[in-house]
């Protein structure tokens, strides 16, 4: 019979630790060099709890050191790289048809001949021109990639502008007493008037009912609040989780809901909300985290916030065609320091 030993391989552990220290020193981090992690002989304890406690302590220490080493190996973008980083050109927007087919709208290949009549160009689709019997009345899905925007004309003539990292579901042709669509992310609507058939926009548990009007909706998954901003006409906003009456908005009013409470604000400059349509980032009294999330939907980067005043509100505007360097400089003006890493 062969007896297998459960003794740790101390030489192997020592070599692993020395490798971690060498890697950290190569990255100019000498904080680990003074730590002596040489594995020494330990007496054998008969009490199982002592062995378990010692094992847990070792694992916790090694886990902390491993995280420290990983952090020290992260390569943040320098000024030269920031200056060369613009809107994400590698992502793609998609049209997912009710037939199950997916059409890449930013690809080099043209649209299928059955769908080619939809396209004005790579960023605009017109469903009034669609004559495809398999799609009639069925839900189609538009998805925008990071750094991408789309303009779509629905079968009734209503127009929708879809911001980056957003989704719109809609029928190829409206049928029945209502015109329903659903949206995730951000979209601006100019709804064709039809008194007999109200236009219904669903955004999670929230519904916006209109006859003919111009308004903006915003409800990203990673943001707590959802907003509806009215620019022209009138809309009624209702939350299906609450039994109170719908809230009717007037032009320049914004409805903000956190899922529990809905409030209405009057905006001094409602056009700032839809500045994204004109190729701008426009922030008014925004916190740093909101700005970071907006930038990550546009540029091919991951952004980390250094220590900063979380109560600080920022107002400013910058072109979406600018590089990350201009963005970083704007944030520095407000004493906001960020770390930027490239998304591969």
Of 225, 295, 292, 296, nearest to 265 by C-alpha is 225
User: Could you tell me if 40 and 139 lie in one domain?
Assistant: no
Cα–Cα dist 294/163, whole Å: 11
- The per-residue pLDDT for 211 is 84
My answer on whether 167 and 235 are in the same domain is yes
> Own/partner pairs for 53-62, CB < 8 Å, 24+ apart?
none
Say if residue 299 is in the same domain as residue 329.
Answer: yes
Quickly tell me which residue has 């929230």 as its tokens: 206
CA distances from 121 to 107, 148, 151 (A): 12, 13, 10
Expressed as residue numbers, the domain containing 283 is: 79-84+279-342
What pLDDT score does 244 carry?
Answer: 78
Contact assessment for residue 188 and residue 274, using Cβ atoms and an 8 Å cutoff? yes
In a domain, 231, yes or no: yes
Number of H helices and E strands in the chain, helices first, is 5, 21
Integer Cα distance of 85 and 303 in angstroms? 13
Q: Which of 101, 102, 105 is nearest to 92 (CA)?
A: 105
Query: Are 234 and 110 in a shared domain?
Result: yes
In the chain (344 residues long), the average pLDDT of successive 10-residue segments reads 43 65 60 53 48 59 55 73 93 88 74 62 77 77 95 94 97 92 98 94 94 94 93 92 86 90 92 95 91 95 83 90 94 89 84
Residue 319, domain member (yes or no): yes
Question: Is 2 part of any domain?
Answer: no
Question: What distance in Å separates the CA atoms of residue 234 and residue 27, rounded to the nearest whole number?
Answer: 59
- The string of DSSP letters for 198-247 reads -EEEEETTEEEEESS-EEEEEE-TT-S-EEEEEEES-EEEEETT--SPPE
- What CATH number should be reported for the domain holding residue 243? 2.60.120.1440
In this prediction, residue 109 carries a pLDDT of 62
Same domain? For 114 and 155 the reply is: yes
Taking CA 275 as the corner, what is the angle to CA 271 and CA 278, rounded to the nearest 5 degrees? 125
């Amino acid at each position: 019979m062969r007896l297998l030993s459960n003794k740790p391989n101390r030489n192997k552990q020592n070599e692993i630790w020395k490798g971690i220290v060498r890697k950290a020193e190569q990255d100019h981090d000498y904080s680990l060099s003074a730590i002596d992690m040489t594995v020494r002989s330990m007496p054998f304890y008969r009490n199982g709890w002592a062995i378990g406690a010692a094992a847990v302590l070792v694992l916790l220490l090694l886990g902390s050191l491993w995280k420290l080493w990983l952090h020290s190996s992260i390569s943040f973008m320098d000024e030269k790289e920031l200056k060369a980083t613009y809107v994400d050109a590698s992502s793609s927007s998609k049209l997912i048809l009710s037939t199950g087919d997916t059409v890449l709208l930013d690809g080099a290949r043209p649209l299928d001949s059955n769908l080619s009549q939809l396209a004005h160009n790579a960023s605009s689709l017109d469903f009034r021109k669609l004559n495809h019997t398999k799609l009639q009345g069925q839900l189609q899905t538009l998805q925008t990639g990071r750094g991408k925007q789309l303009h779509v004309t629905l079968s009734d003539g209503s127009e929708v502008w879809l911001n980056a990292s957003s989704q719109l579901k809609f029928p190829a042709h409206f049928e029945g007493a209502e015109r329903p669509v659903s949206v995730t992310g951000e979209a601006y609507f100019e709804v064709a008037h039809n008194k007999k058939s109200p236009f219904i926009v669903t955004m999670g548990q929230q519904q916006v009912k209109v006859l003919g009007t111009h308004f903006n909706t915003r409800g990203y998954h990673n943001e707590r609040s959802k907003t509806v901003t009215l620019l022209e006409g009138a809309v009624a906003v209702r939350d299906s989780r609450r039994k109170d009456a719908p809230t009717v908005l007037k032009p320049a009013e914004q409805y903000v809901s956190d899922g529990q409470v809905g409030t209405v604000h009057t905006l001094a400059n409602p056009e700032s909300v839809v500045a994204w349509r004109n190729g701008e980032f426009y922030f008014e009294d925004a916190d740093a985290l909101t700005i970071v999330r907006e930038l990550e939907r546009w540029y091919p980067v991951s952004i980390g916030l250094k220590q900063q005043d979380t109560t600080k509100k920022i107002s400013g505007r910058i072109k979406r065609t600018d590089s990350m360097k201009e963005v970083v400089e704007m944030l520095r003006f407000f004493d906001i320091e960020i770390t930027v890493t490239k998304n591969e």
